[in-house]
Amino acid sequence: MRPISRRRTLQLGGLGVAGTVVGGAGLAQQLGSRATSVAASTGVPLREPQVLRSSDGELRVTLQAAEQRLEVAGASATVLGYNDGLPGPTLHVRPGDVLRVRLQNRLARATNLHVHGLVVSPEGNGDNVFVSVDPGESFDYAYRLPDDHPPGTYWYHPHLHGSVADQVFAGLYGAIVVADGGEVAVPSARERVLVVSDITLDGGGRVRSVSAMDRMAGREGELVLVNGQARPVLSARPGERERWRVVNACTSRYLRLAVDGQPLSLLAVDSGRLTPRDVDDVVLAPGNRADLLVAASTNTVLRTLPVDRGTPMMGAGGGVTSPEEVLARLEVSGGAVDDPAPVPPQPEPRDLRGADVAARRELVFSMGMGGMGGGMSFAIDGREFDADRVDQAPAAGTVEEWTLTNTSPMNHPVHLHVWPMQVVSGAAGDEAEPTWRDVVDVPARSRVQVRIAFDGFTGRTVYHCHVLDHEDAGMMGVVEVG
Ligand code: C2O
Ligand code: CU
Ligand code: CU
Convert the pLDDT of each residue in 354-396 to its tens digit.
999 999 999 999 998 765 556 789 999 999 999 999 999 999 9
- Average pLDDT in the 285-306 region? 97
Distance from Cα 406 to the centre of ligand 3, integer Å: 9
Strands (E) in 309-353, as ranges, are 321-322, 325-332
| Model confidence at 331: pLDDT above 80 | yes
What distances in angstroms separate CA 480 from CA 10, 407, 448, one per listed residue? 46, 25, 22
Q: What is the pLDDT of residue 344?
A: 85
Q: What is the pLDDT of residue 428?
A: 77
Say if residues 303 and 326 touch (Cβ distance below 8 Å): yes
Lowest mean pLDDT among 295-299, 344-348, 384-388, 457-461: 344-348
Q: What is the pLDDT of residue 3?
A: 35
d(CA 281, CA 269): 12
User: Which of the four pLDDT bands, split at 50, 70 and 90, describes residue 315?
Assistant: low
Q: Which residue has a Cα nearest atom 3 of ligand 1?
A: 116
| Model confidence at 312: pLDDT above 80 | yes
SS3 428: helix
Distance from Cα 438 to the centre of ligand 1, integer Å: 9
Which residues make Cβ contacts (< 8 Å) with residue 271, sequence separation at least 6?
A: 117, 119, 150, 152, 154, 420, 436, 438
3-state secondary structure 197-264: EEECECCCCEECCCCHHHHHHCCCCCEEEECCECCCEEEECCCCEEEEEEEECCCCCCEEEEECCECE
Residue 339: exposed, middle, or buried by beta-carbon count in 10 A (0-12, 13-18, 19+)?
Answer: exposed
Say if residues 219 and 274 touch (Cβ distance below 8 Å): no
Distance from Cα 39 to the centre of ligand 3, integer Å: 33
Which numbered atom of ligand 1 lies nearest the CA of 157? Answer: 1
User: Which of the four pLDDT bands, split at 50, 70 and 90, describes residue 426?
Assistant: confident
What distances in angstroms separate CA 107 from CA 138, 141, 165, 172, one per listed residue? 11, 18, 15, 11
Q: If you count them, how many residues does the chain have?
A: 482
Q: What is the pLDDT of residue 34?
A: 38
| Model confidence at 6: pLDDT above 80 | no
Say if residues 154 and 116 touch (Cβ distance below 8 Å): yes
Q: What is the pLDDT of residue 42?
A: 55
Which residues make Cβ contacts (< 8 Å) with residue 9, sequence separation at least 6?
A: none
Nearest ligand to the CA atom of 251: 1
Average pLDDT along the chain: 89
Which residues make Cβ contacts (< 8 Å) with residue 77, sequence separation at least 6?
A: 69, 70, 71, 201, 205, 206, 207
User: Which of the four pLDDT bands, split at 50, 70 and 90, describes residue 183?
Assistant: low
Lowest mean pLDDT among 219-228, 393-402, 426-435, 463-472: 426-435
Which numbered atom of ligand 1 lies nearest the CA of 287? Answer: 1
Nearest ligand to the CA atom of 464: 1
d(CA 433, CA 104): 42
Nearest ligand to the CA atom of 158: 1
Q: What is the pLDDT of residue 413?
A: 98
Strand-pairing partners, residue 307, are 322
Distance from Cα 409 to the centre of ligand 3, integer Å: 10
Q: What is the pLDDT of residue 4?
A: 33
* Pairing status of strand 98-106 against strand 58-72: parallel
Q: What is the pLDDT of residue 33?
A: 35
Q: Which residues have their alpha-adjacent CB atom under 5 A from ion ligand 2?
A: 116, 417
Amino acid at 255: L
d(CA 351, CA 149): 16
Long-range contacts of 160-164 (CB under 8 A, 24+ apart): 160/110, 160/111, 160/112, 160/129, 160/132, 161/129, 161/385, 161/387, 161/471, 161/472, 161/476, 162/472, 163/109, 163/110, 163/111, 163/472, 164/468, 164/471, 164/472
d(CA 442, CA 412): 5
- Average pLDDT in the 311-336 region? 88
pLDDT tens-digit map of 24-55: 333 333 333 333 344 444 589 999 999 999 99
Helix or strand run (H / E) with residue 165: helix 164-169
User: Which of the four pLDDT bands, split at 50, 70 and 90, describes residue 339?
Assistant: confident
User: Which of the four pLDDT bands, split at 50, 70 and 90, describes residue 186?
Assistant: confident
pLDDT tens-digit map of 237-284: 999 999 999 999 999 999 999 999 999 999 999 999 888 999 999 999
Q: How far apart are the first and last CA of the chain?
A: 53
Distance from Cα 345 to the centre of ligand 3, integer Å: 37
Distance from Cα 408 to the centre of ligand 3, integer Å: 9
pLDDT tens-digit map of 439-474: 999 999 999 999 999 999 999 999 999 999 999 999
Which residues line the pocket of ligand 1, CB cutoff 6 A? 114, 116, 157, 159, 287, 415, 417, 464, 466
Q: What is the pLDDT of residue 191?
A: 93
Which numbered atom of ligand 1 lies nearest the CA of 116? Answer: 1
d(CA 435, CA 424): 8
pLDDT tens-digit map of 105-139: 999 999 999 999 999 999 999 999 999 999 999 99
Q: Torsion-angle region of residue 114: left (phi > 0), alpha (psi -120 to 50) or beta?
A: beta
d(CA 85, CA 66): 10
Q: CA nearest 27: which of 332, 294, 249, 301?
A: 301
Distance from Cα 206 to the centre of ligand 1, integer Å: 25
SS3 361: strand
Nearest ligand to the CA atom of 469: 3
Q: What is the pLDDT of residue 117?
A: 98
Amino acid at 174: G
pLDDT tens-digit map of 72-103: 999 999 999 999 899 999 999 999 999 999 99
Which residues make Cβ contacts (< 8 Å) with residue 221, sequence separation at least 6?
A: 169, 197, 198, 199, 200, 250, 251, 253
Q: Which residue has a Cα nearest atom 1 of ligand 1?
A: 116
**Which of the 8 DSSP states describes residue 271?**
T
Q: What is the pLDDT of residue 182?
A: 64
Count of Cβ atoms closer than 10 Å to residue 56 Cβ: 6
Q: What is the pLDDT of residue 430?
A: 77
d(CA 118, CA 176): 9
